[in-house]
Structure 1
Amino acid sequence: MFRRREPVPFAFLAEADKFRSNVTPPPRARASLGQMAGRWLLGLTIVAGLGGSLVIGMPAVSQNHAPAQTQQSQASEGH
């Protein structure tokens, strides 16, 4: 690390750049089999929901190129 050129009023501030803790954090606890299965199930549910909404929503956003047929009601046919 580089040294500071400006004077620092407190010595511990000058040494804060190179301070390293000798205390290591505890290791992370491993997820149990049930937790891992729950995470996978949640992920698959979210992906299936997004895929299903895409499949169901596609007809609504697609443009119909077939011309719309006009239907006349039976009441208008009698006149």
Structure 2
Amino acid sequence: MLRRREPVPFAFVAEADRFRSNVAPPPRERPTLGQLAGRTLLGLTLVAGLVGSLVIGTPALSTDTHSDTQQSQASEGR
């Protein structure tokens, strides 16, 4: 029927967290001037897009109370 299995020791997983290699990874390559310029241009483009959308979207979100008073004054003058 159902056999009861013995628990599997997972001590090797705990040891893997403590394992330190004596091999150093290779040093990271420095980005070239073109790569730095490209990253800077991309960042500036993203920031300009966010600022532009904020500038364009702000008037649409503001409540225009002056047009209501102008319309009411125009209707009273007639």
TM-score, normalised to structure 1, is 0.64
Q: Which amino acid aligns with 1:40?
A: T
Aligned-partner Cα distance in 1 for 2:24–2:46: 37
Match of 1:74 in 2: none
- Superposed CA deviations along residues 35-79 of structure 1, whole A, max 9, x for unmatched, are 000000000000000000100111100001111628xxxxxxxxx
Runs of at least 4 residues of structure 1 off by over 3 A? none
Q: How many residues align?
A: 63
Higher relative contact order (CA 8 A, sep 6+): 1
Q: CA RMSD in A?
A: 2.9
Q: Which runs of 5+ in 2 are unaligned?
A: 1-8, 73-78
Q: Which has the higher helix share?
A: 2
**Structure 1 residue 56 and structure 2 residue 75: aligned?**
no
Aligned-partner Cα distance in 1 for 2:57–2:28: 42
TM-score, normalised to structure 2, is 0.65
Match of 1:69 in 2: 71
